[in-house]
Amino acid sequence: MATTASPQALASPPTLPDGVDIIPRKFTFRDLDAIPKYWFGGNKLITHLENTFSILIPPGERFFIQSVRNYADRVDDPEFAKLVQAFIQQEGHHTRAHNDFNAHFAAHGIDVKREEAYAARVMESASRWLPKKIQLGITVFFEHLTATGAHVLFAEPELAKHMHPEALRFWRWHAAEELEHKAVAFDLLRKVGGGYLTRMVSVVVGLLWFGPAFAIMARRMIKADPEPLTDAMRAQAREIDRISREVQRDLLLAYFKPGFHPWDQHDEAYVAEFYASPEIS
Ligand SMILES: [Fe+2]
Ligand SMILES: [Fe+2]
């Protein structure tokens, strides 16, 4: 299946770069209970921001899956159809693993059920009211954001040093699969006639629809946590933001080029390195 990517070749079916395949792999926590309340740097602020992201992931990935399924019958190439199915399976596994991870927050006093219900309502409203092409465009944009986060996690080992090892193993598993399938929704959007304008409109709609929800949830979880937010935590959060910002900025800006393709960013080496590591055993 792995052949050289041909990002701009509309006439030929989408392919993967050499050495990359989309293989759904289940994740099992070795010791979920060992993950502390502040698993990222011992820092309340950063951990709640990451937890917000994690709680948004299960309904978000259900939204991604549905937005792709809406157009799955338009895929006539059997190889591309396999990639679409593998994308759906990977996101399904991610949803289940994040549900386990998120349920664990409840042991630390976080009202997980309330936040999950809120996140689900926001996602369901998008599925109900937005045009299907824009829903797919939003998936393409958020797949780029998750691939960007995944790239940063592998490209900046400094970040990993702040994370609890079990949480790191979990996020790296998810990140590697996000890199593997990062172009599937993009290639599908292009296949069904979604061009630059659709992508750009979807950025705006996606940010307006989901950005406030992220802010509301993060703020609510931080406020509900009685532990004090110290100056040292704020300083550490700024430092972690500084480490990732430069890489993130270039990748985010690349999305706004009309000829952008996810595999313009070569992440093959990170994927190979991860699967060669003992983390996946
Ligand atoms: Fe995912
Ligand atoms: Fe994804």
Domain containing 178 — which CATH number?
1.10.620
- 236 CA → ligand 2 middle, Å: 28
Q: Residue 13 falls within a domain, yes or no?
A: no
Q: How far does residue 146's CA lie from ligand 2's centre (Å)?
A: 7
Closest-CA residue to 154 (of 167, 173, 139): 173
Q: How far is the CA of 62 from the centre of ligand 1 (A)?
A: 10
Ion ligand 1: protein residues whose beta carbon lies under 5 Å: 91, 94
pLDDT at 40 over 50: yes
Ligand 1 geometric centre to CA of 2 (Å) = 21
**Cα 97 to averaged position of ligand 1 atoms, centre (Å):** 10
**Is residue 73 situated within a structural domain?**
yes
CA of 13 to the centre of ligand 2 (A): 20
Task: Please give the pLDDT value at position 13.
Answer: 64
Question: Is 6 within the bounds of a domain?
Answer: no
Model confidence pLDDT, tens digit, residues 90-113 = 999 999 999 999 999 999 999 999
Q: Is residue 114 part of a domain?
A: yes
Q: Which domain holds residue 257?
A: 33-280
Number of neighbouring beta carbons within 10 Å of residue 151: 22
Q: Per residue in 200-234, pLDDT tens?
A: 999 999 999 999 999 999 999 999 999 999 999 99
Contacts 24+ apart (CB under 8 A), 270-275: 270/150, 270/151, 270/154, 270/155, 270/176, 270/179, 271/19, 271/20, 271/176, 271/179, 271/180, 272/19, 273/154, 274/154, 274/172, 274/175, 274/176, 275/176
Does any domain span residue 21? no
Does 40 fall in a domain? yes
Q: State both tokens at 138.
A: 């939003």
Tokens of 6: 């041909």
Q: Is the pLDDT of residue 6 over 70?
A: no
The SS3 assignment for 40 reads: strand
- pLDDT tens digits for 48-85? 999 999 999 999 999 999 999 999 999 999 999 999 99
pLDDT at residue 1 in the model: 37
Helices 44-69 and 196-224: angle between axes, nearest 10 degrees: 140
Residue 266, burial from CB neighbour count under 10 angstroms (0-12, 13-18, 19+) = exposed
User: Scanning the structure block, which residue is given the tokens 């992220």?
Assistant: 214
d(CA 21, CA 183): 12
Total domain count, the chain = 1
- Around ion ligand 2, residues with a beta carbon closer than 5 Å are 178
Task: Give the distance (Å) from ligand 1 centre to CA of residue 91.
Answer: 5
Closest ligand (CA of 174): 1
Residue 134: inside a domain: yes
Q: Give 142 Cα–ligand 2 centroid separation in angstroms.
A: 8
Does some domain include residue 8? no
